[in-house]
Amino acid sequence: MATDGVKIIDGDLARDIYEQIMDLYDSDATIEIIKNEAPFAKRDYGTDTDFYHEIFVTAYALAFWEIGELNEEILEEVKRVIELKAGVEIWTEECDANEGKKRQKELDKLLKKISQPNLKVRKRKKYRIIKNLYFQPDDLLTFQLSDNHYYAVICAKVIQQRGQCTYDLVTTTYKGKNKPTVEDLKSCFISGRTIASSFDWKTILELQPNVDEIWEYVNRDNFLFGLSYHLVTHRDIISFKDKFEVVGKLKIRESFKSDGSYGYESSFDRFESIFSDLDNHMKVFSEEKFPVTLLCEF
């Protein structure tokens, strides 16, 4: 099941659509731009499409109600998907009848809420933007562990969202007695993940251009690709930023920067733990190795 609970905003899909709308709203985007960037349209989710569509529609409707822009089209679609009971049936089948009833209760509560005008429209939030960043996108960073070897990560992205700034670091397999250079990285690998997809290959290539180059490398196709990220917040890295040194620029191709998985690292000890046995870490988290020369621009 692709959701974590019976509430309207509980799983990844619901959070993604809700937060996409709210991020655009807080960025002062017009309603027309929001609708264009997050269109209200049924998508092909493969199996259990009605179930996922229910999650999409209800999260979308809640967001638009909160910003005071819910229209009759959205409301009617909410009523239609609730009547289908796709979510109720899934929760009943995969959990039990009690969970199905809980989902129905959440849907009924949502419909009652959004059927009334919103008298307290959510105000657009203003978040502080951090200007004095410690690292920049595409920085190649090295650090030394207690074994006296140097290791390397790539700062693929710096994300500032809803007041939080993160440095999105990607693991490389570099390990050496000397600090790495960009040239050294050409013989190394980057950790990533393949993501199963029910879309046909043409659609996948539209979603992620050039992913067919990765298909060719692994000798299989029809999947999306994502990097395995280690996120460190601007606040957390203050205490150990001096452990890292910028030794060059190495840009991962934009089409390959999608999220495959991510975890938050709040101390340098985490890097010691991960890199002291990187192969085991990758095995535990089902990560694979992909050549730097395949994923990066040179």
Task: Classify residue 222: in a domain, yes or no.
Answer: yes
Q: Would you say 166 and 273 are in contact if contact means Cβ atoms under 8 Å apart?
A: no
Q: What is the pLDDT of residues 180-200, one digit of tens each?
A: 999 999 999 999 999 988 888
Same domain? For 151 and 287 the reply is yes
Q: Which residues contact 13 (CB under 8 A, 6 or more apart)?
A: 2, 3, 52, 55, 56, 59
Rounded to a whole number of angstroms, the CA Rg of the chain reads 22
Domain end (from 114, 130, 151): 114
Q: What is the largest CA-CA distance in the chain?
A: 66
Same domain? For 79 and 156 the reply is no
Same domain? For 81 and 204 the reply is no
Same domain? For 96 and 170 the reply is no
Residue with the two structure tokens 């040194």 = 245
- The residues that bridge with 226 in the sheet, in sequence order, are 193
pLDDT band for position 119 (cuts 50, 70, 90): very high
Task: Classify residue 134: in a domain, yes or no.
Answer: no
Same domain? For 149 and 275 the reply is yes
Q: Would you say 275 and 145 are in contact if contact means Cβ atoms under 8 Å apart?
A: yes
Q: Where are the alpha helices (DSSP H) in 95-175?
A: 97-114
Task: Classify residue 5: in a domain, yes or no.
Answer: no
- The residues that bridge with 142 in the sheet, in sequence order, are 152, 245
Number of domains observed in the structure of the chain: 2
Q: What is the mean pLDDT of the chain?
A: 93
Same domain? For 101 and 182 the reply is no
Same domain? For 159 and 285 the reply is yes
pLDDT band for position 233 (cuts 50, 70, 90): very high
Task: Classify residue 122: in a domain, yes or no.
Answer: no
DSSP letter (8 states) at residue 256: G
Task: Classify residue 127: in a domain, yes or no.
Answer: no
Same domain? For 26 and 97 the reply is yes
The yes-or-no verdict on residue 3 having pLDDT over 60 is no
Domain end (from 114, 130, 162): 114
Domain around 216: 139-297
- Calculate mean pLDDT across residues 47-72: 93
Same domain? For 291 and 210 the reply is yes
Same domain? For 205 and 95 the reply is no
* 172: enclosing H helix or E strand: strand 164-176
Q: What is the structure's pLDDT at 292?
A: 98
Across 49-63, 84-98, 266-280, least confident range: 84-98
Same domain? For 144 and 32 the reply is no
DSSP secondary structure string, 206-250? HHSTTHHHHHHHHT--SEEEEEEEEEEEHHHHTTTGGG-EEEEE-
Same domain? For 253 and 153 the reply is yes
Q: Which residue from 40, 37, 101, 106 is spatially nearest to 75, judged by alpha carbons?
A: 40
Task: Classify residue 81: in a domain, yes or no.
Answer: yes
Q: Side chain identity at 164, as an amino acid letter? A: Q
Task: Classify residue 274: in a domain, yes or no.
Answer: yes
Q: What is the structure's pLDDT at 1?
A: 45
Q: Would you say 211 and 201 are in contact if contact means Cβ atoms under 8 Å apart?
A: no
Task: Classify residue 288: in a domain, yes or no.
Answer: yes
pLDDT band for position 171 (cuts 50, 70, 90): very high
Q: Which residue from 177, 128, 138 is spatially nearest to 257, judged by alpha carbons?
A: 138
pLDDT band for position 208 (cuts 50, 70, 90): very high
